[in-house]
């Protein structure tokens, strides 16, 4: 029953797919002719990012490294260069932000950078282990008191076909532009490329959910052992106790894979319910054997065992529903 509820809860996650509206790959080379989505206006710099690959993703710390091309186009003769920086990170090493090409001889001016950057973002693991993460690239301009604006070139922005993060889906992304307001009246034009990836459902299930379900299955088999038989009672207590200890230890071990969280995660709801199911089975076993020693009534003990099984299944399912869907 617990497994059935978990399967129902996982169906929307397993049906989830990455956004198919991914921009196509672009060549890092810059054409001498303007791109179709460059804003040809003064005070405006158009920005594009070609994301090549990702390295060193640390889920618990929210850190990751992107390898990418960043390019800027503008026509305003007052702007001599795109003086920009990474808002949510820094170049991985000195020289990791490299101006590889530029052309400022004509009306359309542009700069092309090759960047390897270590970035960071907070991760809320509410749906762990079936969660998705948003890992942005955030760029800001230093305007030097000039009223410049920063806009995206959607047709010239994309993710390389070879981009891969093992265990996670093919990424999708959204583009946003805004202005960051800082003290002393300093404003910085800002552009965010928000890359979204979902964890592989099968891998997540096998790593974090399959094991507690096995613990519950083994504990459920113990309900078949007769409590009025002393050897069966001893075996039932031993197996159920070992499953309870194993579930608790597994929960502690998995904590190292989860970032700090502000509310109960899907994994914790599963583990609390699984531990409660096993614990109720152990309590029922002790009560049933005590009743047998008191009454020597097999039918009474068998009825108690059946009723205890129903309670042991129903209560964890209700608790799981409350923890996951209500709290």
| Residue 197 Cα to chain centre, angstroms | 7
Highest mean pLDDT pick, 27-31, 103-107, 211-215, 297-301: 211-215
Higher pLDDT, 2 or 144: 144
Question: Residues 112, 102: contact at Cβ < 8 Å?
Answer: yes
Residue 287, pLDDT above cutoff 60? yes
Query: CATH 2.70.170.10 spans which residues of the chain?
Result: 24-199
Does position 258 have pLDDT exceeding 90, yes or no?
yes
What percent of the chain has a predicted confidence (pLDDT) above 70?
88
Q: What is the mean pLDDT of residues 188-214?
A: 95
| Res. 185 pLDDT band, cuts 50 70 90 | confident
pLDDT score recorded for residue 36: 59
Kindly report, as residue ranges, where domains of CATH 1.20.58.390 are found in the chain: 202-326
What does pTM read for this prediction?
A: 0.81
Under CATH, which architecture does the 24-199 domain have?
Distorted Sandwich (2.70)
Report pLDDT for 41.
76
According to the CATH classification, is domain 202-326 in 1.20.58.390?
yes
**Inter-residue contact 152 to 17 (CB < 8 Å):** no
């Amino acid at each position: 029953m617990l497994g059935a509820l978990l399967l129902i809860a996982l169906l929307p996650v397993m049906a989830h797919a990455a956004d198919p509206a991914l921009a196509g790959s672009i060549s890092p080379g810059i054409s001498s002719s303007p791109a179709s989505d460059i804003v040809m206006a003064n005070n405006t710099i158009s920005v594009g990012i070609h994301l090549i690959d990702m390295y060193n993703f640390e889920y618990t710390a929210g850190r990751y490294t992107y390898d990418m091309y960043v390019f800027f186009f503008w026509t305003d003769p007052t702007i001599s260069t795109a003086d920009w920086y990474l808002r949510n990170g820094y170049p991985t090493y000195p020289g990791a932000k490299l101006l590889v090409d530029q052309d400022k001889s004509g009306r359309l001016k542009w700069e092309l950078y090759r960047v390897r950057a270590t970035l960071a973002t907070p991760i809320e693991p509410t749906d762990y282990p079936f969660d998705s993460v948003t890992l942005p690239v955030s760029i800001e301009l230093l305007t030097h008191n000039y009223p410049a604006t920063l806009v995206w070139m959607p047709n010239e922005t994309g993710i390389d076909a070879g981009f891969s993060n093992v265990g996670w889906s093919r990424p999708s992304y959204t583009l946003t532009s805004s202005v960051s307001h800082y003290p002393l009246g300093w404003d910085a034009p800002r552009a965010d490329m928000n890359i979204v990836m979902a964890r592989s459902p099968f891998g997540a299930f096998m790593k974090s959910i399959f094991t507690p379900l096995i613990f519950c299955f083994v504990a459920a088999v113990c309900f078949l052992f007769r409590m009025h038989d002393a050897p069966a009672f001893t075996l039932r207590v031993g197996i159920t106790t070992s499953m309870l200890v194993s579930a608790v230890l597994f929960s502690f071990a998995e904590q190292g894979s989860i970032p700090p969280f502000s509310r109960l995660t899907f994994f914790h709801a599963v583990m609390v319910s699984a531990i409660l199911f096993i614990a109720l089975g152990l309590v029922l076993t002790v009560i049933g054997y005590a009743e047998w020693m008191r009454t020597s009534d097999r039918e009474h003990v068998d009825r108690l065992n059946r009723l205890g099984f129903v309670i042991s299944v129903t209560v964890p399912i209700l608790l799981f529903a409350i923890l996951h869907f209500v709290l």
